[in-house]
A and B are shown apart, each in its own frame.
Chain A
Amino acid sequence: MPFLEKLLRVKWFVLAVIALPGLWPAWPLWQQNPSVLADPLKFILHHFGFWACVWLAVVLTFTPLRVLFPKSGLALALNRHRRLVGVSAFVYAALHFATHLVYEGGFAILASDIKKPFLLTGLIAFTILLVLAITSLHAAVRWLGGKRWKNLHRLAYVAAALAAYHQAAARKIFPVQVLLIFGPLVALELMRVVRLAGRQSASRPVAAPTRE
């Protein structure tokens, strides 16, 4: 897919793809859709949370894609935008969190949030993304050093697991969208694990047959 690869090199295109979902709520609001106007902030709250989950799940697929398909130009093109997509996940999460505060009527709600697993998981996931966004600056990478930085940024997987739970718990019935968002990531990671295990067993010397 050389065309898509080329397109992914155009920075403003990537930026537009990431930013457009943020503007989408304006449409039904402008349309005066009564189902949305009944509680417009709730619509916006869910919308930003949804896209925070999407970009977090998307950015985490980049590494396994590169490992599984090392020759794919597309995987390489995507990996150039790891930081941008990762920071975007944080920006959407920050908008989601800010909307939550307005929706609930201020910072007082945080005292109640930490008592509910549904809200606490979201809060922790957001905190992780905040730390990762700050340490994604060049200066922070230099200051931490490559290895420590890498270890710290593995917390993104923890954030993804927490976000998946948080999103699933937001509705009365398990929302299928959680599987659609995080399913591909889980599948890719499983493939990676299977390949890794295969390689390890291949490189290991054949064990002597055991006597019964």
Chain B
Amino acid sequence: MNIRTPQDWELPESAVTAESLYQLRPRRDFLRTLGIGLAGAALSSRHLLGATGGFPSLENPAYPASALKPTPYEFITSYNNFYEFGTDKADPKMYANRGWKSEPWTLELAGLVRAPAKFDVNDLIKQLGGIEQRVYRHRCVEAWSMVVPWDGFPLAKLVALADPKPEAKFLKFTTLLDRVSMPGQKDNIIEWPYVEGLRLDEANHELAFIATGIYGKAIPNQNGAPLRLVVPWKYGFKGIKSIVKIEFTAKAPRNTWNLMAPDEYGFYANVNPNVDHPRWSQASERVIGGKGFAGSRQRTLMFNGYEAQVAGLYKGLDLAKYY
């Protein structure tokens, strides 16, 4: 029998945020954005339910949508870096929705763990006890930012499920490799598949999150369906999309962008306004969907505004050297 002790931040089902309260955009805009027309009936059930394991998505009161101003859904889902589907910002939305399937999906937990396993995504979420909503800042290394209301689960829950051995110190994440259905992978612009890494203590931090949805809907393909890493205090490229494998390792894994240009992208990739990218400043950022035509620019915050929560992970670490 599976007995679960509720976390102190978990709310009773009666406190579930009604979908109507989430209507920052009218629902028909969602459907139009997703390109749901005549084939909508078949698609919408997946988009409304998605990888929830049948659980309702509860807002985590520690990260309420009201605390930050979420970026409109259509921008979050139309302005993407997902080179597996092309390098232009508009490419992923176009090419990830031409028959590419994020269901059924299997996630493999492997490496230095006591419980290596393969999970169907929906079974996994059932086993983890459902999903929750959290709104996070999102800062791209290209100096733009969004605010995203994610749905998903803490990465720490997955780590606990894998039950790492004492020698496991790092996690290595891998994206799906499928040169046929992911057209971007036909060009060897980067080494495929995309890989990312975290320290085990970073992965166990309460903020580290696996997203399965956005705005209470299943995460769109272009945003990394069905499982996408979200590490809000790091640059967006750490947020590896469409994960098929998480391997626990003793040594630090290399990550794709670090392999590409080690002098420009490090392993940590912590958001840091004081350490510039060699080609551009990281002191400020453009706000996606900002005010008016000229948009707006804001100062970038240390650890993307999560300094109080995560600075302790990097005590004594030279952040200019370990960027």
Where the two chains meet, the residues of A that have a C-beta atom closer than 8 Å to any C-beta of B are 33-42, 102-105, 112, 116-119, 169, 171-173
Interface SS of B by simple majority = loop
Chain B residues contacting A104 (CB-CB under 8 Å) are 297
Question: Are A38 and B297 within 8 A (Cβ)?
Answer: no
In the bound complex, CA of A116 to CA of B143 (Å):
15
User: Which chain B residues in 70-88 approach chain A with CB under 8 Å?
Assistant: 74-75, 78-79, 83, 87
Stretch at the interface among B206-214, B242-250, B278-286: B278-286
Question: Are B78 and A35 within 8 A (Cβ)?
Answer: yes
Question: Are B280 and A39 within 8 A (Cβ)?
Answer: no
Least Cβ distance of A36 to chain B in Å?
8
Question: Are A39 and B279 within 8 A (Cβ)?
Answer: no
Question: Are A116 and B78 within 8 A (Cβ)?
Answer: no
Q: Count A-B pairs with CB separation below 8 Å.
A: 62
Least Cβ distance of A44 to chain B in Å?
10
Q: Please, what's the 1-or-0 string for B135-149, where 1 marks a CB less than 8 Å from any CB in chain A?
A: 000000110100000
With A105-B297, A116-B279 known to touch, is A38 a contact of B89 (CB < 8 Å)?
yes
Question: Are A118 and B280 within 8 A (Cβ)?
Answer: yes
Question: Does residue B295 face the partner (Cβ distance < 8 Å to A)?
Answer: yes
Least Cβ distance of B323 to chain A in Å?
16
Chain B residues contacting A36 (CB-CB under 8 Å) are 90
- Nearest CB in chain A to that of B261: its residue: A172
In the bound complex, CA of A117 to CA of B278 (Å):
8
21 residue pairs of the A-B complex, CB under 8 angstroms, read A34-B74, A34-B79, A35-B79, A36-B90, A37-B75, A38-B89, A39-B79, A39-B288, A39-B290, A39-B295, A40-B293, A104-B297, A112-B281, A112-B283, A116-B279, A116-B281, A117-B279, A119-B279, A119-B280, A172-B142, A172-B257
- Nearest CB in chain B to that of A103: its residue: B286
With A34-B78, A38-B289 known to touch, is A173 a contact of B190 (CB < 8 Å)?
yes
User: Which chain B residues in 122-171 approach chain A with CB under 8 Å?
Assistant: 141-142, 144
Question: Are B280 and A38 within 8 A (Cβ)?
Answer: no
In the bound complex, CA of A117 to CA of B280 (Å):
9
Question: Are A116 and B74 within 8 A (Cβ)?
Answer: no
With A34-B79, A116-B279 known to touch, is A39 a contact of B144 (CB < 8 Å)?
yes
Question: Are A116 and B190 within 8 A (Cβ)?
Answer: no
- Nearest CB in chain B to that of A105: its residue: B297
In the bound complex, CA of A169 to CA of B264 (Å):
12
- Nearest CB in chain B to that of A43: its residue: B89
- Nearest CB in chain A to that of B93: its residue: A35
Question: Does residue B33 face the partner (Cβ distance < 8 Å to A)?
Answer: yes
- For A33, A35, A36, the residue with the greatest tally of chain B CB atoms inside 10 Å of its CB is A35
Question: Does residue B62 face the partner (Cβ distance < 8 Å to A)?
Answer: no
Question: Does residue B259 face the partner (Cβ distance < 8 Å to A)?
Answer: no
Question: Are A40 and B74 within 8 A (Cβ)?
Answer: no
Of the candidates B33, B83, B288, the one whose C-beta lies within 8 Å of that of A38 is: B288
Question: Are A35 and B90 within 8 A (Cβ)?
Answer: yes
Question: Are B90 and A33 within 8 A (Cβ)?
Answer: yes
In the bound complex, CA of A39 to CA of B291 (Å):
10
Question: Are B295 and A41 within 8 A (Cβ)?
Answer: yes
User: Which chain B residues in 24-83 approach chain A with CB under 8 Å?
Assistant: 33, 74-75, 78-79, 83
Inter-chain pairs besides A38-B75, A172-B257, 18 sampled, C-beta below 8 Å: A34-B33, A34-B79, A37-B289, A38-B79, A38-B289, A39-B288, A39-B290, A41-B293, A41-B294, A41-B295, A112-B283, A116-B276, A116-B281, A117-B279, A118-B279, A119-B279, A171-B87, A173-B189
- Nearest CB in chain B to that of A175: its residue: B87
Chain A residues contacting B289 (CB-CB under 8 Å) are 37-38
